[in-house]
Copies of this chain bind each other. A is one copy, B any other.
């Protein structure tokens, strides 16, 4: 069994931002030499997500508006008790649960075995500082 580990680093300009990381993950699959296996991609921070969906700017606007309805940004400690700790990112911990922490993608014939529109995104909900994404590949 082969294994391959990579920590990618991202720094978003916006508080909430989606970054297409598909080509970075594909490069790690190639580097791993794995032909048949599984590829785990997860946010290493708890106010961020890794998810798979469409690379369409209108959809990304829709997600941002929807997540803001589901868990509005509010730095006060009234809405989010988490903000009593001095943090202002209570909302981001909620948004991350909706969009998920991780994806697991099949590797077949040395490539990510994707449907026609699947793209991997790093979703940041409390950005403007360095954040890491784990890529772990196992297989043969």
User: Are B115 and A43 in touch, CB under 8 angstroms?
Assistant: yes
Q: How large is the interface on A (under 10, 10 to 19, 20 to 34, 35 or more residues)?
A: 35 or more
Q: Does A25 contact B (CB under 8 A)?
A: no
Residues of B within 8 A of A118 (CB): 44, 46
**Copy number of this protein in the oligomer?**
3
Give A115 to B59 CA distance when docked, in angstroms: 29
Q: Mark A105-117, 1 if CB is under 8 A from B, else 0.
A: 1101000011111
Q: How far is the CA of A118 from the CA of B58 in the complex (A)?
A: 32
By beta carbon, the residue of chain B nearest A99 is B97
A1 touching B139 by the CB < 8 A rule? yes
A-B contact pairs, 11 of them (CB 8 A): A1-B139, A3-B140, A38-B138, A40-B104, A43-B115, A53-B96, A58-B90, A59-B82, A63-B97, A102-B104, A108-B136
